[in-house]
Structures are given as structure tokens and as C-alpha cells.
Amino acid sequence: MKRVGFLLKVKQDKIVEYKKHHEAVWPEMLDALRRNGWHNYSLFMGEDGLLFGYFETPESFQAALAGMAKEEINARWQEFMAPYFESVGGRHADEMMIELAEVFHLD
């Protein structure tokens, strides 16, 4: 299982709303994540909106993203969530995730 960490940035004025939406993620979106190998998935956020995501996946970050790109529900979720992120060139969050290299792990 590959452990994946990534960064994104939520707009400061959208943090409260962003958190609210993640209290009730669409069940179809949760199913799609599971189908595409997103396991033990967590999001952490600083007061400034810096978002750290972590999940475990059988193959790779790229394979997990590619699987989600084929899901219609993911396209709808990305469109719905787009206004919450600091975006570059109008890209959606799943196109802007910055993968972090793992430098230490303790079981």
C-alpha cells in the first residue's frame, strides 16, 4: 500500500463553508473514492486554509487520480468545490494537488 500526502489551499473566506461540506460528503463520492483505491483518507487544515491530505492506495497517486477522473460524480464534486480553492488557471483541486515525498514513517 502506498501512502500519499498532498497539499492544496482553501480560500480564507471559504474555510467555514468548506468544512461544513465535508461533514456530509455525498455518498456517491465516498463510494467512488473507495472504488478507486482511496483508503484511510484524511484531510487536515491550518487556520490559513492550507490543506494537507493523506490517503493510502494500492498503486500510486497518479493511478488513484486517474480512476477518479473517470467518475462522473467526481466531475460534479470538483465543479461544486472549485470556488473554495485558490486556483491557478481555473483548474480544479484534483488537478492542483501537490504530492509530497514521504521522508519518514513509523509503524
Active-site positions read 22
- Per the CB < 8 A criterion, the answer to whether 32 and 87 are in contact is no
DSSP 13-52: GGHHHHHHHTTS--HHHHHHHHHTT-EEEEEEE-TT-EEE
**Identity of the residue numbered 38:** W
50-57/39-45 β-pairing: antiparallel
Helix, strand, or coil here: 73? helix
Give 59's DSSP letter.
S
